[in-house]
Amino acid sequence: MIGADGGGNGGVIVMASPEWYEVSYTINPWMRPDEWGRDRDGARQRAQAQWDALADRLRRAGMTVEVVPAAPGLPDLVFPANSAVVLDRRALLARFRRPERRGEEACFLRFFEDLRRRGLIDHVQRMPDGIFQEGAGDCLWDSSRGLFWGAHGPRSAPESLDHIAGFFDAPVVGLELITDRFYHLDTCFSVLSGGEIVYFPPALSRESREAVAERVPPEQRIVATEDEAHAFSLNAICLGHDLIMTPPPPRLRAMLEERGYRCIGIDLSSFVLSGGASFCMTLRLDHTGGRLTADAGGPSAERIGS
């Protein structure tokens, strides 16, 4: 049974119950099962408290929180950003590269089909079998430019970009991730409501950095330092001018606040132990603006570094 809690006049956002969350294996360089295992009961309690704090903050912002039930043996289900790309009430469901996460696909399919039956989305489709693509974690909607930034590299395949463009009738700019540490785009790249991009350039190929520079003017490019990226400050939820994020280092906080953003820091250290933070722990269902007009020339996907 899918639960809905919260309310208000804001949008709809997905979280997944942390009941079975733990750090029990290593599929990215951030994962620390040894640290989790030193105090499993305490680790679970801390994770639940941090999840509750994030959910509460989203509800206070007026968001409705839809909760995916937890499933034993699927600890990373708690990161629903990887479940799908959603735009204009259409959901394109992920195909996971790592076998540890493939069991999540059936759980998320049930969840999205239930959303469709309840009228919260209109259409659900799965990425074709054998084409890996890990949801919004590797595909960020940029409403200011009317395009997706779509990553390929450690987790998502270059050929997924064409499917995203066709499904949503929206342009996709492909960005190549070149390091396992920044294995999803949402770990090193954040799109803000005012059109700014916060990113860590060394995570991207040279061609990808050039693609960003061609589309984002210098005054809207905020370059994060390695320490800021390692603090998971770029894995943030942007709600208007509120940024819900792990507590950012002082330099980045000051730069964001100078531009009119309010940084709302939440301790999510239990989830950083698995390589995720606030953006990874959520999925927006209310992004709009992707459908092209008939004379817009059709959707396109530009692959960079493939």
Q: Which of these ranges, 6-15, 19-28, 172-181, has the smallest mean pLDDT? A: 6-15
Span 49-55, mean pLDDT?
98
Span 188-194, mean pLDDT?
98
SS (H, E, C) 139-203: EEEECCCCEEEEEECCCCCCCHHHHHHHHHCCCEEEEEECCCCCCCHHHCEEECCCCCEEECHHH
Which of 125, 91, 82 is closest to 285 using CA atoms?
91
At residue 83, does pLDDT exceed 70? yes
Q: Where are the domains of the chain?
A: 10-287
**H or E element that contains 243:** strand 242-245
pLDDT of residue 77: 98
Query: End-to-end distance of the chain based on CA atoms, in angstroms?
Result: 41
At residue 72, does pLDDT exceed 90? yes
Question: Taking the mean position of all CA atoms in its chain, how far away is CA 147?
Answer: 16
At residue 147, does pLDDT exceed 80? yes
Span 211-240, mean pLDDT?
98
pLDDT of residue 162: 97
At residue 292, does pLDDT exceed 70? no
At residue 18, does pLDDT exceed 80? yes
pLDDT of residue 10: 77
Mean pLDDT of all residues belonging to the chain: 93
Q: pLDDT tens-digit profile of 110-135? A: 999 999 999 999 999 999 999 999 99
pLDDT of residue 94: 98
Cα 273 to Cα 35: distance, rounded to the nearest angstrom: 8
pLDDT of residue 7: 40
Q: Which of these ranges, 3-17, 18-32, 36-50, 87-101, has the smallest mean pLDDT? A: 3-17
Cα 223 to Cα 113: distance, rounded to the nearest angstrom: 39
| Residues with catalytic function | 184, 280
Higher pLDDT, 172 or 290: 172
Question: Taking the mean position of all CA atoms in its chain, how far away is CA 254?
Answer: 24
pLDDT of residue 302: 67
pLDDT of residue 104: 98
At residue 9, does pLDDT exceed 70? no
In words, the CATH class of domain 10-287 is alpha beta
Q: State if pTM tops 0.75.
A: yes
> Which CB contacts under 8 angstroms, 24+ apart, belong to 295-301?
298/169, 299/165, 299/166, 299/168, 299/169, 299/170, 299/171, 299/172, 300/165, 300/171, 300/172, 301/150, 301/161, 301/162, 301/164, 301/165, 301/171, 301/172, 301/174
Higher pLDDT, 14 or 305: 14
At residue 8, does pLDDT exceed 80? no
